[in-house]
Each structure stands twice: as C-alpha cells, then as structure tokens.
Amino acid sequence: MFGRIFVTALAAGFIAGLFIWGAHMVKAVPLILEAETYEAAAGGAAAEVSPDEGYGRHAYTLITDVITAVGFALMLAAAFALSGRDVDWREGLLWGLGGYAAFSLAPSLGLPPEVPGMQAADLGQRQAWWLATAAATLAGLGLIFLARPVLARVLGGALVVLPHLVGAPAQEAASGPLPAELAAEFVVVSLVTSGLFWLLLGGAAGYVYRRLGQARTGP
C-alpha cells in the first residue's frame, strides 16, 4: 500500500508541479517582477535582475513547485487509502476541489495572495490563521462528505465557517506604492492557476492510484 501511495504521489506531483511552474512563469512571475519595481522605487533603489539571477530564480521555483506538488499528492494518495475508496480520475477531481477549497480558496477569503509591496499583518499571525483555516476546512469537508451521522456533518459545516467567524489578522489601512489593479490581478491569477493545479493534481492522482490498484490485483 505504501508503494502505491508513494508512486502515485511522485507521478501526479511531477505532472502537476510542472504545470504550476509553467503557469507561474507565464502569469504570476511577470506580475511579481512588476510589483518589485514599485517596491524598489518606493525605497529609492533600482530593481534589476541579471540573467543569471533570473535563471536561478526560475530553477528554484521549478524545484519548489514540484516538491510542493509531490507533498500535496502524497496527502491526497494517503487520503485515498484511508478512505478505503477505489478512487479514479473522476473522483480524483472532486478530491482535488477539496484540496483547492482547503489550501487556496478558504484562506484567501481572509488573506488574499500577496505580491511585494502589499500591506500585510504580522507574518506569524498570518501563518497561524492560514494553517488553522486549512486544517479546519479539511476536517470540515471530510466530515461533510465522508461521515454519515447528520450531527457529524453539521459539525463539519461549523468547522468550515469557524475560521472566518474568528477572522483573519487585521492590518491597518496604509497607502503603498503598489497599484490596486496589479494586486487584484495577482489575486485572480493565483486563484485560477491554483484551481487548475488542484484539478490536475486530483485527476492525475486518482488515475495513477486506480491503475496501480488494477495492476496489483490483475485482470
């Protein structure tokens, strides 16, 4: 079983990691570089990136994206195994949507994706709220869709809502150098690419997991 989980994570994570890296290069990185120019201008410095530094950043982003995707795929494959369900690529898409809800959509309701130059609350407080929101959303969705007792499903719904009732760390309004249009575009790009990433990850993980199960049991 561990081998099935591990191979699923490597295959699906590599595929989805390459996709999200390409999406970052095409859509997100240009916005980040533009935001850095505003941040540097506000600080009185020139924002320059040499070709070698650019290549290094791209390589680091690729490695980080693939490792992150493999880690998320490992969680998905382990969840498949724990659920006892014979997940295929179609059901994998639904699991992927759950991951998107927990790790991207729900946290973004209180803490939208940020580019350099955006005003933000204390880093420690943001990280704590993000982790709590992701964990509560995961647990809540698991109870809603996998538990049978009605009371458990009600508890799941409460867990999903709870972090937003508590509220994300507040940041005092302050003017910054970053145009609002650029920040808004980055939020949209981040959420759209993340949604596509999770769909691809879930579908690929479900497909590989099912095929490995069929290979093990034989015709």
The answer as to whether 48 is a domain residue is yes
- Confidence band for 47, pLDDT divided at 50, 70 and 90: low
Mean pLDDT value across residues 11-31: 94
Q: Could you give phi then psi for residue 217, rounded to 5 degrees?
A: -85, -20
Would you say residue 165 lies in a domain? no
What are 134-165's pLDDT values in tens digits? Answer: 999 999 999 999 888 999 999 999 999 999 99
Q: How many domains does the chain have?
A: 1
Sign of CA dihedral 48, 191, 181, 126: negative
**Cα–Cα distance between 14 and 140 in angstroms, integer?**
28
In a domain, 82, yes or no: yes
Residue 68 exposure: Cα atoms within 13 Å on the Cβ side: 15
Q: What is the pLDDT of residue 117?
A: 63
Q: How much is the pLDDT for 37?
A: 83
Q: Is 151 within a domain?
A: no
The answer to whether the beta carbons of residues 96 and 202 sit under 8 Å apart is yes
pLDDT tens for residues 61-75?
999 999 999 999 999
Give a yes or no: residue 179 inside a domain: yes
Residue 145 maps to a domain: no
For residue 56, give the amino acid letter. G
Does residue 85 surpass a pLDDT of 70?
Answer: yes
To 10 degrees, the CA torsion angle through 41, 45, 51, 55?
-80
128: in domain: no
pLDDT digits (tens, 9 = 90+) for 183-213: 899 999 999 999 999 999 999 999 999 999 8
Average pLDDT over residues 94-111: 95
If you average pLDDT over each of 5-19, 32-46, 179-193, which comes out highest? 5-19
Q: For residue 181, give its domain range.
A: 2-119+173-217
State CA 137 to chain mean position distance: 13
Note the pTM of the prediction, 2 decimals. 0.86
Q: Is residue 73 part of a domain?
A: yes
Q: pLDDT at position 55, please?
A: 76
Going along 24-162, which residue ranges are E strands?
Answer: none
Tokens of residue 144, six digits = 């809603």
**Other Cβ atoms within 10 Å of 148 Cβ, number:** 6
Structure tokens at 165: 């009732």
CB 203 within 8 A of CB 96: yes
